[in-house]
Chains A and B, each alone.
Chain A
């Protein structure tokens, strides 16, 4: 390693504990997110994967420990500053009825705007680019509620693109979508990573899709990280039994050799 200047570049969690009302959901978790890679967090329901993502995106304040962005704890930065470097797509986001796609996407410029500077020519071109990148430019003036599930998800991703951040956090971006639209969204996510070197962290339910579209997999159970690494290293039948309690066979995809899960049944 010769590059020491960029040593502390990126997002990581250090001894992070997170929770809502009662006991901690996540305790003393440390994790470094690989830069310019797609990372998926997988695990059974209630394992704390969404909680972890919310913690990384400062939607949930740590009970102890810290989340560190480019060497500086998030707690010491203004939420507006953070919003120029991390964008977050929450689980099932809501928009008031009648809000158009363009209006929603333009809200992504908020962290860079002032009250007397509500929509500069630069903002305008960024919004257009974001609409184009997600292939919804022709839907710009359509109300969000008139879109299909897949289009709606692309509109929300487009809003996070308009934020022009290097890091993108997506909480279950494929929930409620049919398989074709799930693949559509994940192709988009991978393209955004490949073309612009964006760091992506997402919570996914489908292990095979996670393996297929991620460079790095974090498997969680009971608020702890059970394993992390490349899809081939993490997605094995032993681990599926251990983490999900699922008897499954893992085969290599004929096309790209990535692991694919064939479920056999739930363990006792």
Chain B
């Protein structure tokens, strides 16, 4: 058994491999290291979020409550029933969006091709807002069947329909990344205007609710809504991790991938389905939280100096990004802001930076 061996001859390559018997796994030491550091940062950000996600609570009290030491029932209730599910929702939303972004950016070979720009989140929003307004929960908000099944199903359905529409519009003898981004912008615009139209149909209360939801908000998350989302996001992210090896092949372009024995059609369909489902899960949980899917994979790529955004590290970056944004949004001004506002404040300049960088590379 050889561990972490570099190639035998000193002149050979720097490909690092972990081997045990017939099993061999390629590793990038820097990616592993960054992943470990981010894991610690994530735990700290989770604690920070629970402690400062509203009225500040003393760290020791929070820890005691999380560990089930029931000394102060008021803090215990706040932590376990309100703060903790909200914190979990932030983790799910961040990790899901970032993973979806890592996949779409790799398949499209374009750092701008995030689910936000590919119409998926706009489509999912349209589905969700339609149910919000049509089912018309009024002051009480959505309840019962419409909330637990109707809205998620509508968001999933509409997100997938938009994703498929963009893919079909962009596909001509192959997947051209410019066509993909243009088709995505078109479908996003269409979905956004339809959403606005739907909003005018509902009464003022449900329209206002829908608008808050549309900025991306983690308000009012409880375990009942968070648990199914955590489960589906978890399964999907694991699936995405297993498809990492495929992702690098797709980034070599269609012809090379086929030449190397990849069933490119099946691979694209599989990984893009995973991405669309993840983006929809995130949108159902918190609304279209802006820029997380765009920025996180590129940050992960820079941190690890990888060729394509690494899936696992992207998920960690996304989770930390949303946790910190929500913590800041809750405390920055006198009234707490929706998390989407904070991610947009960070993300919009990042988008401009990406566009400029991309343009320089092309010219």
Query: Using a CB–CB distance below 8 Å, which chain A residues touch chain B?
Result: 20-21, 54, 57-59, 78-84, 87-91, 93-100, 102-103, 106-108, 110-111, 115-121, 123-124, 127-128, 131, 137-138, 140-141, 160, 163
Q: Which of B11, B24, B260 contacts A108 (CB 8 A)?
A: B260
| Cβ-defined contact, A83 with B261, below 8 A | yes
Min CB–CB distance B241 → chain A (angstroms): 11
| Cβ-defined contact, B261 with A79, below 8 A | yes
Contacts of A95 in B (CB 8 A): 252
| Cβ-defined contact, B17 with A118, below 8 A | yes
Q: Which of chain A's residues has its CB closest to B11's CB?
A: A137
Contacts of A97 in B (CB 8 A): 307, 361
Contacts of A127 in B (CB 8 A): 13, 15
| Cβ-defined contact, A128 with B255, below 8 A | no
**How long is the Cα–Cα vector from A225 to B221 in the complex, in angstroms?**
69
**How long is the Cα–Cα vector from A89 to B242 in the complex, in angstroms?**
27
What band does the interface of chain B fall in when counting residues whose beta carbon is under 8 Å from A? Answer: 35 or more
**How long is the Cα–Cα vector from A172 to B213 in the complex, in angstroms?**
54
Chain B 127-142 interface 0/1 with A at a Cβ cutoff of 8 Å (1 = within)? 0000000000000000
**How long is the Cα–Cα vector from A120 to B174 in the complex, in angstroms?**
33
Contacts of A79 in B (CB 8 A): 258, 261-263
- Among residues 157 to 196 in chain B, which have CB atoms less than 8 Å away from a CB atom of chain A? 173
Contacts of B259 in A (CB 8 A): 57, 59, 83, 87-90, 160
**How long is the Cα–Cα vector from A107 to B136 in the complex, in angstroms?**
54
Min CB–CB distance B122 → chain A (angstroms): 27
| Cβ-defined contact, A118 with B173, below 8 A | no
Q: Is B352 an interface residue (CB 8 A)?
A: no
Q: Is B25 an interface residue (CB 8 A)?
A: yes
User: Can you name 19 A-B pairs with beta carbons within 8 Å?
Assistant: A21-B173, A80-B261, A84-B261, A88-B258, A90-B255, A93-B253, A93-B256, A96-B248, A115-B242, A118-B17, A118-B26, A119-B15, A119-B24, A120-B24, A124-B7, A124-B15, A128-B9, A137-B12, A163-B260
Chain B 41-57 interface 0/1 with A at a Cβ cutoff of 8 Å (1 = within)? 00000000000000000
- Among residues 5 to 28 in chain B, which have CB atoms less than 8 Å away from a CB atom of chain A? 7, 9, 11-15, 17, 19, 22-26
**Which of A81, A87, A116, A118 has the most C-beta atoms of chain B within 10 angstroms of its own C-beta?**
A118
Q: Which of chain A's residues has its CB closest to B7's CB?
A: A124
**How long is the Cα–Cα vector from A80 to B305 in the complex, in angstroms?**
30
Q: Which of chain B's residues has its CB closest to A90's CB?
A: B255
Min CB–CB distance A89 → chain B (angstroms): 7
Q: Which of A78, A87, A90, A131 contacts B253 (CB 8 A)?
A: A90
**How long is the Cα–Cα vector from A157 to B261 in the complex, in angstroms?**
16
Contacts of B7 in A (CB 8 A): 124, 128
**How long is the Cα–Cα vector from A120 to B21 in the complex, in angstroms?**
10
Min CB–CB distance A75 → chain B (angstroms): 14
Given contacts A115-B242, A119-B26, contact A102 B13 (CB under 8 A): yes
Contacts of B263 in A (CB 8 A): 78-80
| Cβ-defined contact, A106 with B23, below 8 A | no
Contacts of A111 in B (CB 8 A): 260-261
Min CB–CB distance B250 → chain A (angstroms): 10
Contacts of A119 in B (CB 8 A): 15, 17, 24-26
Given contacts A96-B307, A98-B305, contact A110 B249 (CB under 8 A): yes
Contacts of B19 in A (CB 8 A): 120-121
Contacts of B14 in A (CB 8 A): 100, 102, 140-141
| Cβ-defined contact, A94 with B109, below 8 A | yes
| Cβ-defined contact, A138 with B11, below 8 A | yes
Q: Which of chain B's residues has its CB closest to A156's CB?
A: B256
**Which of B12, B13, B263, B306 has the most C-beta atoms of chain A within 10 angstroms of its own C-beta?**
B13
Min CB–CB distance B284 → chain A (angstroms): 30
| Cβ-defined contact, A118 with B24, below 8 A | yes
Q: Which of chain A's residues has its CB closest to B244's CB?
A: A115
| Cβ-defined contact, B260 with A20, below 8 A | no
**How long is the Cα–Cα vector from A87 to B255 in the complex, in angstroms?**
11
Contacts of A103 in B (CB 8 A): 13, 15, 307
Min CB–CB distance B259 → chain A (angstroms): 4
Min CB–CB distance B262 → chain A (angstroms): 7
Contacts of A98 in B (CB 8 A): 305-307
Q: Is B308 an interface residue (CB 8 A)?
A: yes
Q: Which of chain B's residues has its CB closest to A103's CB?
A: B15
| Cβ-defined contact, B23 with A116, below 8 A | yes
Contacts of A88 in B (CB 8 A): 255-256, 258-259
Contacts of A80 in B (CB 8 A): 261-263
Q: Is B245 an interface residue (CB 8 A)?
A: yes
Contacts of A121 in B (CB 8 A): 19
| Cβ-defined contact, A93 with B261, below 8 A | no
Min CB–CB distance A11 → chain B (angstroms): 15
Contacts of B109 in A (CB 8 A): 94, 96
| Cβ-defined contact, A117 with B15, below 8 A | no
**How long is the Cα–Cα vector from A141 to B12 in the complex, in angstroms?**
9
Given contacts A21-B173, A99-B307, contact A116 B11 (CB under 8 A): no
Q: Which of chain A's residues has its CB closest to B14's CB?
A: A141
| Cβ-defined contact, B13 with A118, below 8 A | no
Min CB–CB distance A77 → chain B (angstroms): 11
